[in-house]
């Protein structure tokens, strides 16, 4: 008879009291765990056990040690293992540093069961987790506007448009306002340029290939691009 194995978490924590607490919270969420106390042991067991995710305790007194563990995991095992930092330190510099080194998430102690469930449910699923996580609550009215910027790379420019390489996938037909130092060179100003996404395709490297066209009715833009290309050829 086969049974479905419960998700497994590997925890690095050198404080015995804390490790018992973490193991208890995980157990209640239907997750088995193993606690290790040193960075070396952690990497060794990580290779052997291939856990669903890892909790890395960043002890305030030994912050440097914790950061070294994250750095070592990424160096040895790449981006595969999911590393969730648990720390008593809510300082933005520490959070930024952990994320920069490759941590997937960062939780501030004391561990909040509901919060842990909401984060962990992205990686594993148990009935207890689904039950414990908080659900998303609709905003009153129609929601709130959010503005953000994303980065991508220009692979090719011709007189009609650009070919882009991006980790993000854009909808065909959407209009993007693109800014780039190369446009400053072409148009002589740093105003964003409007392009229409004509085609998107998944590429072998996991990135998205995007073909976007300049506004065909904006002769000023088209002329500037043609002149720039002619100057280069």
Closest distance to other proteins from the beta carbon of 31 (Å): 17
Closest distance to other proteins from the beta carbon of 104 (Å): 7
Closest distance to other proteins from the beta carbon of 199 (Å): 9
Closest distance to other proteins from the beta carbon of 35 (Å): 23
Query: Two tokens at 96?
Result: 């930024």
Closest distance to other proteins from the beta carbon of 34 (Å): 25
Give the largest CA-CA distance in the chain: 73
Q: Which is nearer to other proteins, 2 or 78 (CB)?
A: 78
CB atoms within 10 A of CB 2: 4
**Do 186 and 224 form a contact (C-beta atoms < 8 A)?**
yes
Query: Two tokens at 118?
Result: 């909401």
Residues recorded for the chain: 233
Q: Tokens 């420019």 correspond to what residue?
A: 157
Measured in whole angstroms, the distance separating CA 202 from the mean position of its chain's CA atoms is 19
Q: Give kind and range of the element (H or E) at residue 212.
A: strand 208-214
Q: Which is nearer to other proteins, 62 or 192 (CB)?
A: 192
Q: Which is nearer to other proteins, 38 or 175 (CB)?
A: 175
126-156: b or e for each residue (b if 16 or more CB lie within 10 Å)?
Answer: bebbeebbeeeeeeeeeeeeeeeeeebeeee
Closest distance to other proteins from the beta carbon of 130 (Å): 14
**Do 209 and 165 form a contact (C-beta atoms < 8 A)?**
yes
- What gap in Å lies between CA 16 and CA 190, rounded to an integer? 57
Closest distance to other proteins from the beta carbon of 193 (Å): 9
CB atoms within 10 A of CB 100: 11
Measured in whole angstroms, the distance separating CA 59 from the mean position of its chain's CA atoms is 24
């Amino acid at each position: 008879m086969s049974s479905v194995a419960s998700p497994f978490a590997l925890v690095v924590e050198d404080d015995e009291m804390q490790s018992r607490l973490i193991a208890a919270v995980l157990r209640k969420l239907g997750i088995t765990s193993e606690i290790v106390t040193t960075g070396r042991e952690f990497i060794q067991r990580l290779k052997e056990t291939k856990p669903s995710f890892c909790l890395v305790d960043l002890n305030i007194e030994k912050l440097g040690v914790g950061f070294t563990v994250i750095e070592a995991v990424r160096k040895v095992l790449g981006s595969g293992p999911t590393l969730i930092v648990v720390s008593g330190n809510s300082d933005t510099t520490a959070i930024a540093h952990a994320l920069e080194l490759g941590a997937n998430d960062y939780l501030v102690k004391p561990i909040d069961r509901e919060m842990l469930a909401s984060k962990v449910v992205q990686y594993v699923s148990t009935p207890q987790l689904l039950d414990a996580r908080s659900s998303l609550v609709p905003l009153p009215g129609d929601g709130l506007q959010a503005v953000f910027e994303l980065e991508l790379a220009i692979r090719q420019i011709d007189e009609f448009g650009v070919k882009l390489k991006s980790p993000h996938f854009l909808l065909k037909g959407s209009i993007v306002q693109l800014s780039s130092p190369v446009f400053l060179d072409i148009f002589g100003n740093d105003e964003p340029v409007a392009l229409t996404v004509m085609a998107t395709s998944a590429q072998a490297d996991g990135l998205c290939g995007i073909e976007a066209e300049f506004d065909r009715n904006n002769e000023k833009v088209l002329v500037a691009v043609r002149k720039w290309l002619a100057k280069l050829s």
